[in-house]
Structure 1
Amino acid sequence: MREMQEWVAASGPDVPGPRRIVALDSPARVLLAAASRALRGEDCADLGYQPMLARFPGTPESVRRSAVARAGGRAALPVRQVGQVDAEWVARWMVDHYPPGQYPGVVLGSPSGAAVHLATALGMPWLPAGFEVAVQWPQGAVDNLAGSLAYGAQVAERLLAANPGVRVRQVHDPAARGVLAGSTVSLVLRWRQLPEAYRHFLGERLAPGAPVLLMRDVRTWPVVDQGQGHAFQLGSPGSGLTSADFRILSEPLDQVLRVAGGDPQRWEPPAPLGPQGYAEHGIEPGFEQSLLDWAREADSSLHRVLFAEPEALSAATADVYRGWLRAAGKTGDRCVVECGRLLDPWQVVRAGLVPYWCENATSRRVAGAEWWLAGSDPFSSVDVLPEPPGMRSPALAGLPQWLAVASFGRRRRALDRVAARGYPVTSVPTRHATEVLRAQPYDLPAPAPLDVQDALTGLRASGTAHGLLVC
């Protein structure tokens, strides 16, 4: 913490701190906050995060759209500060989230609420393999693909000049970011190798021989490689649409563009879109290799967990939790289905719940929860926390689908009313998950930390059928 305070004190008005650099809307930011609090034995009651798209509820749609675009621009990084971004300082800020002491291992990799829950059960920190930056795009437009690509290339050039140790993935996705795709450009910075702050953290804060778990999202998507470390991605797996929808201007994308204030007739994807590559939350090969090299030098074991869909890791982690709770003499018969940034790992452990995490509120991700519940031993209660994304999209799950998830509870079937009221454009802060989970009965004491070998065995046993690979 001392190093962070010194860095903040040294920062001037044109030197952005990590809190300004890491995008407010990025999943890794909230997951890191939740993971570090859980490791300190704290809940997420102080996290007032609200998705940018969900702000200004109740106003006319055209007015709200303009207000959200302006708010997103103000929260984004000004172009003049892009050259001052330091990815190493961001890494230091991330590891400084964790309190002093030694840990029995660490979980790194792609952003996933399931990975955070697993890290909490193991008593380990969770760290991302990259971070997202939103940069102001004056005079931008949701439907201006050529302008987005050209502007993003200029921004990426400045970022890479100051940070040769990262690659930049630009993602233009109005289906996931709505009107924000026209007021900002979204850039995911992925470390090419372990940043020095991570290397120091592993060397100084892990117990000798402590295991390392690398969680890899291996979803693919068409990528336009611009060279020099910058790649452009049109759409994303998290949008709920397919890559073909973005190429041919499908009916779902047409609806999305109109909701975001764009003109479908101006939608002209770059040609060619490029071959399939790992999507924005993939991991750079050099990062994995440097982690493997570190593990060999430290005489530690590196375990890689690869998932082709986020629900594969969510289902396997939920099954591991159930076995962990039952081995500790608890029922493991109460389930909570979380969504996006509505999660609280510490309250889940405190209440003895089985957590299933949906990446977002798209129909495909929610269907994953339905399939898992349908194939699981029945739960006595199922509580559902849908995160309203703040925009309307044909790819989103409707309330009937969320109710179907809750219906798997034998005795208690609860769809959170606050989140459901005004869904999908209502505004619900992250701490609302804490408020809901605090109302669950206590089931203390918490089990002893999950053994890493038991976790890996459980992930293999449950995840193989879902396409999860543990190696």
Structure 2
Amino acid sequence: MREGLTADGAGLAGDRVVAVGSAARILVAATARALRGADCADLGHPGPLSRFTGAPEPVRRAAAARTAGRVALTAGQTAEVDAGRVARWFVDQYPRRRYPGVLFGSPHGAAAHLAVALGVPWLPAGFEMSAHWAQGAVDRPRAALDHGAALAARLLAGNPDLHLRQVHCPASRGALAGATVSFAARWRRLPTAYRRFLTDRLEPGAPLLLILDGRTWPVLDSAPGHSFQVGCPGSGLDPVDLHPDSPVLRQVLRSTGADGTRWSPPEVSEPPRPAEHGVESGFDLTVQEWATSHRHPVHRVLVPEPAVLSAATADLYRGWLRAAGKTGNRLVVECGRLIDPWQVVRAGMVPYWCENATRRSVAGVEWWLAGSEPFSSVDVLPEPPGLRSPAVAGLPQWLAVAGFGRRRRALDRTAARGYPVSSVPTRRATEVLRAQPYDLPTPPPMTVAVALEGLRDSGAEQGLLVC
């Protein structure tokens, strides 16, 4: 991030608090740059694991743990976190002008693309943090809960407007799950900085769109404001796969150097609830209250699975491009942090965003392509997860996605090199998309009415609810 984006105030700077590489951080940065007419060439740098692609697994795991420890919050720093300052850091990244609307909610790459097409900001309903766990172990979820509860108490003491969802997931975090604890911090009401932003930057009557991740997961309530879940939907696994007798779990733990015989997660008796990227009901309610009192309409988009919003947004982009006289026949399949909304618009391409490199996520784009009008070219940017897991898609599956292109079928070689244990920076997407031919001028901004109609038409059969 550039220097000078943090606002004045107490506590740690926002760019120190929000986890490096987390979805909310990347998507705000990418959207803000696109609204300034800039790409993501300055985002990210080669990760440390890029130097250890051919190294033995223990060496790679140790390097990952050391790197995570350098950027994670210490126990003392958790007491200095100011969620209000984080909110100010998010809004201060956007150009100071009036906007015809705003998107809120769960992190999703398609939401960033939608925001750019509409010419509006995207603001997250929460953010991720990681904190030190010096004596941690991947195979000790109960100990992770105990350590996380002590940290959560420090965090909540100064931030009562947050709910902290702790996530212990060896399948998505690998060895890092034993070096740090991960929190998804969700605002329980609209932050003051967001209210001020809406008041100062929205055009009269501009609509507010709220993106809601509808996925659920078994959750344990640890204490007021702190909940705990083992595993997560983004891992590509199901809750049953985290059972101590699961062969899938044993394979995951072996890949992290952990001992499956020590795995004993806390009992969860409550029914499944919104997973870590869900939106707090209080946040939703206060958005509605602000909108009503200031005479702005509110629309909600409930997303049952990430692939559904990705497919609907890709269909919407295709229609938007064709209405502007473009072919809409060139597709880019992005993944995780490999995203650049500005370069996508500049090249006149259709974007489809995969949440990550799991087999389930890649299967989503395969099914969508199988039922769509063919594309003349398909460029695929697979983000290596940096770990091995039975849920991770192999390169043949990614190659099958590229194979849907009629004339051009391209799988990025840099991302594929060392896959799945390597790492590539966000700017790799920019480098690939910069090589695409220009298709200017860019289309005029999409209207919210057109966007909502398109999402309803394309996503209704897949369970996308727009209201």
How would you bin the TM-score normalised by the shorter chain? over 0.9
Q: Select the residue among 215, 218, 235 that pairs with 1:222.
A: 218
Asked if 1:442 corresponds to 2:438, the answer is yes
Structure 1 runs (4+) greater than 4 angstroms displaced: 1-6, 49-55
How does 1:203-242 map onto structure 2 within 5 Å?
203-242=199-238
Q: Paired residue for 1:85?
A: 81
Write out per-residue CA displacement over residues 44-80 of structure 1, whole angstroms, 9 at most, x where no aligned residue: 0011245676663332211111111111011100111
**8 Å contact kept, 2:7–2:92:** no
* Aligned-CA RMSD value: 1.5
Q: Paired residue for 2:408?
A: 412
How does 1:235-254 map onto structure 2 within 5 Å?
235-254=231-250
Using the size of structure 1 for normalisation, the TM-score is: 0.96
Q: Paired residue for 1:24?
A: 20
Are residues 404 and 156 of structure 1, via their aligned partners in 2, closer, same or farther at CA, if it must alter by over 3 Å? same
**8 Å contact kept, 1:52–1:72:** no
Asked if 1:283 corresponds to 2:259, the answer is no
Deviation at 1:249, TM superposition (A): 3.9
Q: Distance in 1 between matches of 2:128 and 2:369?
A: 32
Write out per-residue CA displacement over residues 255-308 of structure 1, whole angstroms, 9 at most, x where no aligned residue: 111111210000001123532000000000000000011111111110100011
Q: Paired residue for 2:177?
A: 181
Percent sequence identity over aligned pairs: 64
Q: Distance in 2 between matches of 1:307 and 1:453?
A: 18
Q: Select the residue among 381, 384, 390 that pairs with 1:385.
A: 381
SS class of match (1:178) = helix
Are residues 164 and 71 of structure 1, via their aligned partners in 2, closer, same or farther at CA, if it must alter by over 3 Å? same
Deviation at 1:226, TM superposition (A): 1.4
Are residues 347 and 157 of structure 1, via their aligned partners in 2, closer, same or farther at CA, if it must alter by over 3 Å? same
**8 Å contact kept, 2:49–2:63:** no
Using the size of structure 2 for normalisation, the TM-score is: 0.97
SS class of match (1:179) = helix
Are residues 256 and 431 of structure 1, via their aligned partners in 2, closer, same or farther at CA, if it must alter by over 3 Å? same
Q: Paired residue for 2:463?
A: 467
**8 Å contact kept, 1:56–1:68:** no
**8 Å contact kept, 1:388–1:427:** yes
Asked if 1:369 corresponds to 2:365, the answer is yes
Q: Select the residue among 446, 454, 457 that pairs with 1:458.
A: 454
**8 Å contact kept, 2:243–2:249:** no
SS class of match (2:376) = strand
SS class of match (1:389) = coil
Q: Distance in 1 between matches of 2:47 and 2:212?
A: 25
Are residues 400 and 6 of structure 1, via their aligned partners in 2, closer, same or farther at CA, if it must alter by over 3 Å? closer
Instruction: Read off the aligned partner of 2:235 and give its amino acid letter.
Output: S
**8 Å contact kept, 1:53–1:177:** no
Deviation at 1:461, TM superposition (A): 0.2
Unaligned stretches of 5+ residues in structure 1: none
Q: How many correspondences in the alignment?
A: 466
Q: Distance in 1 between matches of 2:247 and 2:437?
A: 46
Deviation at 1:458, TM superposition (A): 0.3
Are residues 168 and 314 of structure 1, via their aligned partners in 2, closer, same or farther at CA, if it must alter by over 3 Å? same
Write out per-residue CA displacement over residues 137-169 of structure 1, whole angstroms, 9 at most, x where no aligned residue: 011000111110111111111111110001000
Instruction: Read off the aligned partner of 1:364 and give its amino acid letter.
Output: R
Q: Paired residue for 1:310?
A: 306
**8 Å contact kept, 2:19–2:130:** yes
Q: Paired residue for 2:421?
A: 425
How does 1:53-202 map onto structure 2 within 5 Å?
56-202=52-198
Q: Paired residue for 1:267?
A: 263
**8 Å contact kept, 1:55–1:68:** no
Write out per-residue CA displacement over residues 408-428 of structure 1, whole angstroms, 9 at most, x where no aligned residue: 111111111111111101221
Q: Distance in 2 between matches of 1:154 and 1:132?
A: 17
Are residues 397 and 16 of structure 1, via their aligned partners in 2, closer, same or farther at CA, if it must alter by over 3 Å? same
Q: Distance in 2 between matches of 1:16 and 1:407?
A: 47
Unaligned stretches of 5+ residues in structure 2: none
